[in-house]
Amino acid sequence: MWVLMPAAFAGKLLSVFRQPLSSLWRSLVPLFCWLRATWLLASKRIKQQLVRREPDETKEEEEDPPLSTTPTSVNYHFTRQCNYKCGFCFHTAKTSFVLPLEEAKRGLLLLKEAGMEKINFSGGEPFLHDRGEYLGKLVKFCKAELRLPSVSIVSNGSLIRERWFQNYGEYLDILAVSCDSFDEEVNVLIGRGQGKKNHVENLQKLRTWCRDYRIAFKINSVINRFNVEEDMTEQIKALNPVRWKVFQCLLIEGENCGEDALREAERFVIGDEEFERFLERHKEVSCLVPESNQKMKDSYLILDEYMRFLNCRKGRKDPSKSILDVGVEEAIKFSGFDEKMFLKRGGKYTWSKADLKLDW
């Protein structure tokens, strides 16, 4: 329409000036009326086009599908039962349920098909159920049948026997052993004491077995009120783990704080500045990987004993539906997983013992 208007206007104007002067003023009046009507009509049509376009743009924004989350690294807490009573534990023995072995395998296959590369088995204490046989069968399944690049375990180490390494060690990439102090009295205060057994001595024995059976050795430590002033530099260097994961004590409502909790971890909590001072004291330890509360809270994909993702965004563990019932893609939408923080904290690293090229 706008293309035709200049030509139409020129034609009208030319016809006006061809008339005698006496008729000029009479002709200008309808010309101006025509121009005004044309301008109003064009303005109305432009407004209608803009109104029609705005809902379409909004609709496009609303219909953009959310980015799907790939379960690259999954932490499967298949049991809540434990033989220790760590005061700050944030996955406590609220049930004794453990999935039947074949159901657990079915869930792990679903995760592999959805893109899982690393599985970490934890608890509770994963070696407690069926004396580690259940765990061993899952480890073997994930490595031998699913052919996952990385299979790891987090354990307090107290129930591991050399026979387990003999039967299943070849299928395990990383064993992470929890050790919060190299002072046995402090371990007892925290809740890692178990009669005459010495937690530190057992740690050294496990380090030797990991070397003998070609398993990458890792240490996890939770920094809390009772060990925040400790200097662990020499002991960690002597044990020489591939990674030393250092966590700031974290409160989770319903697990270690609040009305329904089985623990009261408030007395273990330390501030950010105290945690930073601990890290500064150990800055010479090259394998140290620090995780503050901010980095830790939403950067883990956690499956509970029913294979439900646990969402910690509100400071508690809200479960999704089980992946066994609705599939991984649907369940993971409710995981609260922060993939950016997962990458920022170094969640993806060289986690296969074949790629670590360790000097056994």
Q: What is the pLDDT of residue 45?
A: 62
Strand 288-291 and strand 301-303: pairing? unpaired
355 vs 222: CA distance, rounded Å: 28
- Residue 183 confidence (pLDDT) above 50: yes
CB contact at 8 A, 155 and 124: no
Residues serving a catalytic function are 82, 86, 89
For residue range 189-223, list pLDDT tens digits in order: 998 876 677 888 899 999 999 999 999 999 999 99
90 vs 249: CA distance, rounded Å: 9
Q: What is the pLDDT of residue 173?
A: 98
- Residue 48 confidence (pLDDT) above 60: no
Name, in order, each residue with C-beta under 8 angstroms of 167's C-beta and a sequence gap of 6 or more. 136
- Residue 123 confidence (pLDDT) above 80: yes
- Residue 22 confidence (pLDDT) above 90: no
148 vs 139: CA distance, rounded Å: 10
Could you tell me the strand order of the sheet in which 318-322 lies?
288-291, 243-248, 216-223, 174-178, 150-155, 118-122, 73-77, 301-303, 308-311, 318-322
Q: What is the mean pLDDT of residues 60-84?
A: 78
CB contact at 8 A, 194 and 158: yes
- Residue 336 confidence (pLDDT) above 60: yes
Q: What is the pLDDT of residue 31?
A: 53
Least confident residue range of 86-90, 163-167, 344-348: 344-348
For residue range 275-288, list pLDDT tens digits in order: 999 999 999 999 99
- Residue 61 confidence (pLDDT) above 70: no
Q: What is the pLDDT of residue 314?
A: 83
* Confidence band of 44 (pLDDT split at 50, 70, 90): low
* Confidence band of 28 (pLDDT split at 50, 70, 90): low
Higher pLDDT, 98 or 17: 98
Least confident residue range of 30-44, 108-122, 147-161: 30-44
pLDDT above 90: percentage of residues in the chain: 61
Least confident residue range of 97-111, 221-235, 310-324, 345-359: 345-359
| Strand runs labelled E in 113-260 | 118-122, 150-155, 174-178, 216-223, 243-248
Least confident residue range of 88-102, 124-138, 338-352: 338-352
Q: What is the pLDDT of residue 60?
A: 41
- 72 half-sphere exposure, CB direction, 13 A CA radius: 15
* Confidence band of 163 (pLDDT split at 50, 70, 90): very high
Q: What is the pLDDT of residue 186?
A: 94
120 vs 75: CA distance, rounded Å: 5
Q: What is the pLDDT of residue 19?
A: 54
Q: What is the pLDDT of residue 6?
A: 52
Higher pLDDT, 331 or 340: 331
Higher pLDDT, 336 or 228: 228
Higher pLDDT, 31 or 113: 113
CB contact at 8 A, 122 and 138: no
Structure token pair of residue 53: 């376009």
Q: What is the pLDDT of residue 33?
A: 57
Q: What is the mean pLDDT of residues 235-243?
A: 96
Specify the pTM.
0.80
Q: What is the pLDDT of residue 25?
A: 47
